[in-house]
Amino acid sequence: MLNSILLDGLALAGAGIGAGVAALAAGLGIGRIGSSAVESIARQPSESGKIQTAMLIAAALIEGVALFGVVVCLLIALA
Amino acid sequence: MATKINKLLLLILLSVLSIAGFASSDAHTVQEEDLDQESVFNPGEMIMHHIGDSHEWHFFSTTAFHGTIPLPIIVYSAEKGFSVFSSAKLTHHGAYDGYKIHHERIFAVDAAGNENTAVKVYDLSITKNVASLMISAILLVLVFTAVAKGYVKNKGKAPSGVQSFFEPIVAYVRDEIALKMIGPKYERFMPYLLTIFFFIWFNNLLGLMPGGANLTGNIAVTLMLAITTFVITTINGNGYYWKHVLWTPGVPLPLRIIIMPIEIIGMITKPFSLMIRLFANITAGHIIILSFIGLIFLFKSIYIAPLSVGFGLFMTFLELFVALIQAFVFTLLTAMYFGSAVEEHAHDDVDHGH
């Protein structure tokens, strides 16, 4: 009984840590994209449209991977 | 600021924990208890109730009155055939017509009134999400027939009315998404791209309205959108696309054998990530807003209210932006996949070696 509660708790803690790491990594990735995009726009304001599109695509791809991580954590937490 | 973040983290942790508790406890209809006896407020339940689908459209509740719109329930079981009745008849307390509802799942009941899990019940009800889907479909048809009529009426003239609002958006989808991502063959994909763009955008916004259903945060809906994209990509794939997937040119033979399964998995993960992205973004947005509102009831203090309403308002504005961004990203990535499917063979290809 106690053992199962402990194991459930550990699983939840693992899920929480996993979600946190996923958010951290996604934040780092998207932050880097954002900073580079702002720098590029500052250098080449006329190309801002193209830079924004490329930025959004890269951000969406990173976000996709991070969301996979979150979904796995959610499955651990709910299962 | 740090304490606010701490509180937020604590709340999110609490809500995740209580969601898990909610999912693992299978004993009672918790919602029923919540309404019957003034039990302790559980933010996880409140949030799951709001983001989930349900058989009735619930707007608000006071102690004496429930502001709900009953929706039709359509169930099919092998022995009884189809039964259609209002969800108002199927309360938490009793069975109706041989069916009983428990945690938004409909079960058949036996003679003693207990749930009979042996009988397979097919639930084809018009649920809250289905009703919301129908409303948004009607809305989209009304809006875009008005836009289309505008083009007939104002032929060769400046657009007017609702047409002048949607023309720049349609032109943006055509010039910035379809033309850039797909190339010269963009025209036959325009109807689909515009449909998913406006469908997702309208439904994201409808989901943010008070009492709105969380339609684009329902994984079944995003699954169907992703499957449509996958099917259109696959049937439009030309020889060049299939050659790249199955026998990637320009790489050594041992690598081609490794790359082939990876590319085939990649065909599946692309729509899968589309499905998860839209679902998770919209659901997460709803959860955050509801968490801020839930904070007031969690602390049972009026002094929390300005803070959580402020944060909730900020998040709602952010969600208005996210509603557009997610519609844009879904359309953009769909267009990219179509673009890769119809891309023409370049003559100075890497296949000829370096």
Give the mean pLDDT of B9-24. 43
Out of B13, B176, B277, name the one closest to residue A67 (CB).
B277
Q: Structural domains in chain A?
A: 2-78 (1.20.20.10)
Say if B149 falls within a structural domain.
Answer: yes
Structural domain span for residue B211: 129-352
pLDDT of amino acid B229? 95
Q: Are residues B108 and B140 in the same domain?
A: no
pLDDT band at B71 (very low <50, low <70, confident <90, very high): confident
Among the listed ranges B29-33, B59-63, B141-145, which one has the minimum average pLDDT value? B29-33
- Cα B203 to chain center, whole Å? 8
* pLDDT score of B19 more than 80: no
**Closest chain B residue to the Cα of A55, Cα to Cα:** B329
| Residues near A37 by beta carbon (within 8 Å), at least 6 away in sequence | A51, A52, A54, A55
Asked, for residue B62, whether it belongs to a domain, the answer is no
Q: Are A49 and B176 in contact (CB under 8 A)?
A: yes
Residue B60 counted as domain residue = no
Residues B47 and B106 in one domain: no
Contacting residues of B for A15, CB less than 8 Å apart:
16
How many domains are contained in chain B?
3
Query: Same structural domain for residues B189 and B46?
Result: no
- Please say whether the beta carbons of B222 and B274 come within 8 A: yes
Q: Which two tokens stand for residue B107?
A: 């079960």
A2 touches chain B (CB under 8 A): no
Lowest mean pLDDT among A18-32, B13-27, B172-186, B216-230: B13-27
Alpha-carbon distance B71 to B84, whole Å?
A: 10
In this structure, the answer to whether residues B258 and B320 fall within a common structural domain is yes
Strand B81-86 and strand B99-102: the pairing is unpaired
Residues in chain B: 354
pLDDT of residue B18: 41
- Position B338 scores a pLDDT of 94
Q: How far apart are CA B341 and CA B239, in angstroms?
A: 9
Measure in Å the smallest separation between the Cα of A43 and chain B Cα atoms: 22
Mean pLDDT of chain A: 87
The average pLDDT across B163-177 equals: 92
Measure CA of the first residue to CA of the last residue in chain B; give whole Å.
57
User: Are B262 and B243 in a shared domain?
Assistant: yes
Does residue B57 fall inside a structural domain?
no
Task: Report which of residues B242 and A78 the model is more confident about.
Answer: B242
Between B24-38, B96-110, B121-135, the lowest mean confidence (pLDDT) is in B24-38
pLDDT over threshold 70, residue B6: no
Neighbour order of strands in the sheet with B105-109: B99-102, B105-109, B115-116
Which residues of chain A make contact with B24, given a CB cutoff of 8 A? 8
- The SS3 of residue B169 is helix
What is the model's pLDDT at position B246?
Answer: 86
Q: Do A67 and B328 count as a contact with CB atoms less than 8 A apart? A: no
Share the mean pLDDT of chain B: 82
For the stretch B300-329, pLDDT in tens is: 888 888 989 999 999 999 899 999 999 999
C-alpha torsion angle, residues B231, B220, B213, B61 (rounded to 10): 170
Structure confidence at residue B231 (pLDDT): 95
pLDDT at B26: 38
What pLDDT is recorded for position B347?
Answer: 53
Q: What are the DSSP calls for A10-79, one per residue?
A: HHHHHHHHHHHHHHHHHHHHHHHHHHHHHHHHHH-GGGHHHHHHHHHHHHHHHHHHHHHHHHHHHHHHH-
Q: What is the pLDDT of residues B232-259, one digit of tens each?
A: 999 998 888 888 888 888 888 888 888 8
Chain A residues inside the 8 Å CB shell of B277: 60, 63-64, 67
Using one digit for the tens of pLDDT, what is the confidence trace for B267-297? 998 999 899 899 988 988 898 888 888 888 8
Quick one: B235 and B272 in the same domain?
A: yes
- What ipTM was estimated for this complex? 0.71
B221 belongs to a structural domain:
yes
Same domain, B120 and B139: no
Give contacts of A70 with chain B, Cβ < 8 Å. Answer: 280
Confidence of residue A32 (pLDDT cuts 50, 70, 90): very high
Dist CA B214 CA B227 (whole Å): 20
Residue B59 included in any domain: no
CB contacts < 8 Å between A and B, how many?
Answer: 44
User: Does B24 have pLDDT greater than 80?
Assistant: no
Examine the domain organization and report whether B87 and B176 are in the same domain: no
Surface of B (47-106) touching A: CB under 8 A: none
Inter-chain contact B332–A49, Cβ cutoff 8 Å?
Answer: no
Residue B119 located in a structural domain: yes
Q: Single out the residue of B284, B282, B273 nearest to residue B229, CA to CA.
A: B273
* In-domain check, residue B258: yes
Query: Quick one: pLDDT at residue B134?
Result: 94
Whether residues B118 and B143 fall in one domain:
no
User: Taking CB atoms and an 8 Å cutoff, what residues of chain B touch A57?
Assistant: 332-333, 336
Claim to verify: residue B268 and residue B138 sit in the same structural domain: yes
Segment B346-354 shows an average pLDDT of 49
Same domain, B184 and B292: yes
pLDDT in tens, B83-99: 888 888 777 667 777 78
Higher-confidence position of B304 and B11: B304
Q: Final residue of a domain: which of B126, B153, B173?
A: B126
Question: Do B32 and B143 fall within a single domain?
Answer: no
Domain closes at, from B126, B154, B169: B126
Per-residue tokens: B340: 């890769």
